[in-house]
Structure 1
Amino acid sequence: TKIAANGWTTTTKPVLQAADINRDGTIDLWAVASNGNVTPHLFNGTALTAQSAQTLIAPSKSWPLAEGGTEGSRVASSVESSSGSPMTGGTGATWNSKDLFNPDVRLNGTGTGVLSTSSAISTSADFSASVWVKPDAVNGIVLSQDGNQSSGFIVYADSFTKQWYFCLSKADSSAWTYSCVHHPDPNFGLVQVGVWTHLTVTYKPSTRTMALYINGVEAGWGTHDAVAGFTGNLRVGDYMYNGNHETFFKGAVSNVQVWNKTLTPTQVALLSGTPGYVLFPSDNTNYPSGSSWSTARATMKFEQGLLTITKANGGTWTRGSTGYPNAVLTLQNDGNLGIYPQPAHQLGTALWSADVVEPGDAMLLQPDGNLMIYRPDGTAIWASGTYN
């Protein structure tokens, strides 16, 4: 099937990828042009229809860790994709070509199994960072950036709670003093040994908001007052405490990326590309009666004006009123979630609404069964409370 009648040039020639973009059971295509524009093409079984183009979120710096080398050989230098800044490793950081990313980098959990490069972010400005990890044990620092005595930020697997953590330092001192976030429920946000996991962290000083995302879904958020400094090396596999590097990570890592901006929950979800959640942008889409969505721990159905979430462990949550066959569910452009008896959102006719106004927000039906609405900076502003 022809995707485009023209435009196939040396500057716009796209890379094609396939997936079920709209989850209708048929494979769709999207074209990624060299200028960063992404155009989805939905397939209905007989023809492809181009959708509105979107622009990829280019990182400030990125280390795919994909050069490869002799199996088990040291990662002497992995070049950053835009500026060429090298990320180098010790003898315990080695190339591996027998796993998902083929290649990736194996870290052996000692002082020699660490990757490092020059300073990549400012901890007192907007930033985001992400990495793919496959831990061999529930322990170790995955990402950090050095100060003089301590690290400015750390992402790590906590051996006590068995959860992923994101922390920002309150002072560059010999004491352990950090603002930390993790999943508030001890049964979620857990480190999975031997499983590839996508971790993303964000910080926005103007709202003091810090957030941790696991596989594209926010796992924890909190507040932190910005602290300047911490302009030392970005490190993969340990952190600095009292002037020394320690708490080494053992496992595999791939595709380290940083941004000098705060990614939104929608951007993080799309960046992750991992299954398990359902994303609803605030774009005024009308979801008609009969719509349904599922994650590992919940099924959500919208039927004739009634929104129902059924939890995997039993129990239901409902909002709205039944008996309206033309009713629609929508996350509006102003950020409010509403149920209307008709596709036209007439003022004063809502059967129910979440009563939030936050343009640019996003809603996710999460793997834990919770339906959440997030501000662009990652702050949670509404929840169904159906996690289980």
Structure 2
Amino acid sequence: MSRWCASAAKANRDTATPTTQVAVSQGTATHQAFYLGYNGPKKSWQFMTTTTEAATTTYPVALGGPAPAAGTWTHLTGVYDADTEVMSLYVNGALTGTADRNATPVYNASGPPTVGANITVGSTSPYDPLTGAVSDVRTFPSALTTAQVKAVYANS
């Protein structure tokens, strides 16, 4: 993905298990360049990135939205804007969280986007699977405005 990016997906969790569950991600050799999904321990949707390929990376995360009920479709959009270095999470078209500035995101991921789990490059073992369904996944080569996110949500 480029330094300006956005990803959107609809997620429907079958169960309310308190685990991390990923709707869409893109792997690097060591971590994930980004992922959109559910943070079970925090009972919140999240858009997370990494700052480096090193083992000591930090994970800036934008959290937001209510804990979803099992069997409910939720539209997620994660946006990273390199001009402001801000990560934003939109849930059902509304801005629900932003992250501290991430000046060094790992957006040169060598892995393809992955739907329904995390996976690192070269691995055949996905982890953090979403127990449910994912639909209408979209990636964009530039950051979306709030109005654009609302339009994507309205047309999904």
Deviation at 1:240, TM superposition (A): 3.6
1:81 alignment partner in structure 2: none
**Which residue of 2 is the match for residue 164 of structure 1?**
45
Could you report, residue by residue, the CA deviation over 1:312-364 in whole angstroms, capped at 9, with x for unpaired residues? Answer: xxxxxxxxxxxxxxxxxxxxxxxxxxxxxxxxxxxxxxxxxxxxxxxxxxxxx
Pair 1:234-2:113 in alignment: yes
Q: Which residue of 1 aligns with 2:90?
A: 213
| Native 8 Å contact 1:172 1:230 kept in 2 | no
SS at match of 1:177: coil
CA deviation map 1:280-301 (0-9, x unaligned): xxxxxxxxxxxxxxxxxxxxxx
Native 8 Å contact 1:189 1:219 kept in 2: no
Partner of 1:131: 9
Task: State the partner residue of 2:70.
Answer: 193
103, 122, 135: which is aligned to 1:225? 103
Distance 1:191 1:216, change over 3 A: same
TM-score, length-scaled by structure 1: 0.36
SS in 2 for 1:269: helix
Give per-residue Cα distances to partners, 1:202-249, cap 9 Å, x unaligned: 111111011000000001012211334312111011114696631111
Contact 1:176 1:241 in 2 (8 A): no
2:71 maps to amino acid: G
TM-score normalised over the length of structure 2: 0.85
Deviation at 1:190, TM superposition (A): 2.0
* Equivalent-residue separation in structure 2 for 1:196 and 1:170 (angstroms): 30
In 2, are the aligned partners of 1:152 and 1:172 still within 8 Å (CA)? no
The residue type paired with residue 235 of structure 1 is T
RMSD of aligned residue pairs (Cα, Å): 2.1
| SS of 2:37 mapped into structure 1 | strand
Whether the 8 Å contact between 2:111 and 2:120 is mirrored in structure 1 is no
**Counterpart secondary structure, 2:60:** strand
Aligned mates of 1:163, 1:194 — CA distance in 2: 16
Compared CA separation, residues 192 and 135, structure 1 to 2 (3 A): same
User: How far 1:261 moved relative to its partner?
Assistant: 1.0
Equivalents in 2 of 1:173, 1:143: separation in Å? 22
Asked if the contact 2:24/2:36 (under 8 Å) is kept, the reply is yes
Structure-1 residue corresponding to 2:147:
266
In structure 2, relative to structure 1, the CA distance for the partners of 1:214 and 1:207 (3 Å cut) is: same
Relative contact order, higher structure (CA 8 A, sep 6+) = 2
| Structure 2 alignment gaps of length 5 or more | none
User: 1:177 and 1:150, CA in 2 relative to 1: closer, same or farther beyond 3 A?
Assistant: same
- Give the distance between the partners of 2:4 and 2:37, measured in 1 at CA: 20
Task: Sort the Cα spacing of 1:175 and 1:245 in 2 relative to 1 into closer, same or farther, 3 A.
Answer: farther
Alignment of 1:292-307 (within 5 A): none
Matched ranges for 1:1-388 at <5 A:
121-122=1-2, 125-138=3-16, 139=19, 140-175=21-56, 177-183=58-64, 188-222=65-99, 223-228=101-106, 229-240=108-119, 245-273=126-154
Q: Aligned partners of 2:30, 2:71: CA distance in 1, in Å?
A: 32
How far apart are residue 176 of structure 1 and its match?
6.1
The amino acid of 2:37's aligned partner reads Y
Q: How many Å separate the matches in 2 of 1:192 and 1:144?
A: 22
Structure 1: tracts of 5 or more residues without a match: 1-120, 275-388
Q: Deviations over 1:149-177 (max 9, x none)?
A: 11100112111121101111111234563
Tell whether the 8 Å contact from 1:146 to 1:152 is kept in structure 2 after alignment.
yes
Determine the C-alpha separation between the residues in 2 that align with 1:232 and 1:127.
Answer: 16
SS in 1 for 2:149: helix
Query: What is the identity, as a one-letter code, of the residue corresponding to 2:83?
Result: S
Identity %: 24
The runs of 4+ residues in structure 1 deviating greater than 3 Å are 173-176, 240-245
